[in-house]
């Protein structure tokens, strides 16, 4: 890692205090699907609370507490904060934690609705609202002018950052910055200096301009798990084959190729209008002692769970049914944000 910076962006598999979730509500795009999607959030909260704490952003604390009690969740590990939000994709508007001189520091980047596609004024303020409410105790927070979503970057905790050019260079995010300037800026903010830029890869129905957490993920021991399309007739085939070739060309900091683990390609999922939905097994969440993996009632689910187990052999692999989540074009990792150890009071 760059010796000139004291900052380090932890890997997701490092010890955590908890996981942040933003609960769906009637003023969000989930309104028509609340009965379908709320059980998914309950399943996520139940699974996470077995291993660590859960922080929830909600519009009605008492109502949600009662809903969680009826679902038999252990509320001692769950804390709910009344914070207004536009939506549930907290991976992209929640604070990103770095270690600065070994101490946690919360970075509050600008969130503009994935390049001005959707309203985001409440989401953009949510992290600061949590901080004012004391959710993070004495952990300091820096508010930054750079537009950056948590789902657009992935770290190995040792200075390497995996990302996509389609997202970070999208004109409505940081149009005043070149690729080199974004690289330099992120090195200063995150302490990352070994950049792995993907120029290929997409998922139909994805609103994020190819967030990395839908396509490829770093894992322990110089591993990359990535979505692999094996159907030549699928419109994703050529782009994902090109992405696989890029991944095979990547080298670790010491010049070795990465260990590549292909994730299976689920059967196409469509909404009621026939539009493709972005089902992906790459959108898993690593927590203390476990990995939560999205499943889709698909024949490839078991293969995906077994593949993730290869990367995380010492952790329990927990499948979470996420078909309702992709109705709004995201999945499990997109609705969660890990909080590293040392942040929570």
Beta strands in the chain (DSSP E): 7-8, 16-22, 53-58, 78-82, 96-100, 103-110, 141-147, 153-155, 160-164, 194-198, 216-219, 223-227, 259-263, 269-270, 276-277, 285-287, 290-295, 316-321, 336-340
* Contact by Cβ (8 Å): 90, 336: yes
Cα separation of 115 and 164, whole Å?
15
Residue 257's DSSP bridge partners are: 251
DSSP labels for 180-224?
A: HHHHHHHHHHH---EEEEE-----TT-SSSS-GGGTEEEETTTEE
- Among 167, 229, 322, 334, which one carries the catalytic annotation? 334
Instruction: Please identify which residue in the block is written with the tokens 């890692």.
Output: 1
Cα separation of 177 and 268, whole Å?
36
* Contact by Cβ (8 Å): 74, 80: no
CA torsion sign for 66, 131, 288, 154 is: positive
Q: Mapping DSSP to helix (H, G, I), strand (E, B) and coil, where does residue 74 land? A: coil
Residue 320's DSSP bridge partners are: 294
| 334 tagged catalytic | yes
Residue 71: its H or E element: none
Residues designated as active site: 334
């Amino acid at each position: 890692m760059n010796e000139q910076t004291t900052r380090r962006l932890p890997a997701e598999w490092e010890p955590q205090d908890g996981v942040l979730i933003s609960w769906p509500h009637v003023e969000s795009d989930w309104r028509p699907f609340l009965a379908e999607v709320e059980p998914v959030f309950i399943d996520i909260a139940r699974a996470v609370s077995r291993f660590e704490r859960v922080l929830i952003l909600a519009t009605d604390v008492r109502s949600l507490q009662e809903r969680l009690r009826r679902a038999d969740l252990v509320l001692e590990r769950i804390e709910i904060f009344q914070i207004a939000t536009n939506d549930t994709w907290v991976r992209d508007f929640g604070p990103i934690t770095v270690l600065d001189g070994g101490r946690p520091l919360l970075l509050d980047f600008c969130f503009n609705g994935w390049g001005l596609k959707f309203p985001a004024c409440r989401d953009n303020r949510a992290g600061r609202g949590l901080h004012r409410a004391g959710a993070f105790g004495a952990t300091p927070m820096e508010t930054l002018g750079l537009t950056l979503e948590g789902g657009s970057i992935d770290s190995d905790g040792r200075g390497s950052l995996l990302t996509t050019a389609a997202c970070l260079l999208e004109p409505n995010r940081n149009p005043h910055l070149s690729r080199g300037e974004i690289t330099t800026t992120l090195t200063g903010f995150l302490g990352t200096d070994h950049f792995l830029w993907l120029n290929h890869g997409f998922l139909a129905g994805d609103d994020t301009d190819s967030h990395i957490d839908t396509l490829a993920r770093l894992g322990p021991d110089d591993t990359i798990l990535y979505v692999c399309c094996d159907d030549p007739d699928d419109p994703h085939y050529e782009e994902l084959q090109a992405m696989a070739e890029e991944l095979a060309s990547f080298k670790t900091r010491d010049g070795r190729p990465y260990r590549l683990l292909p994730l299976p390609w689920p059967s196409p999922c469509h909404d009621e209008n026939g539009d493709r939905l972005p089902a992906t097994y790459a959108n898993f969440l690593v927590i203390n002692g476990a990995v939560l993996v999205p499943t889709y009632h698909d024949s490839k689910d078991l293969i995906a769970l077994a593949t993730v187990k290869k990367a995380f052999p010492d952790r329990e692999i927990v499948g979470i049914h996420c078909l309702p989540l992709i109705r709004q074009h995201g999945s499990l990792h997109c609705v969660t944000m890990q909080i590293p150890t040392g942040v929570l009071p």
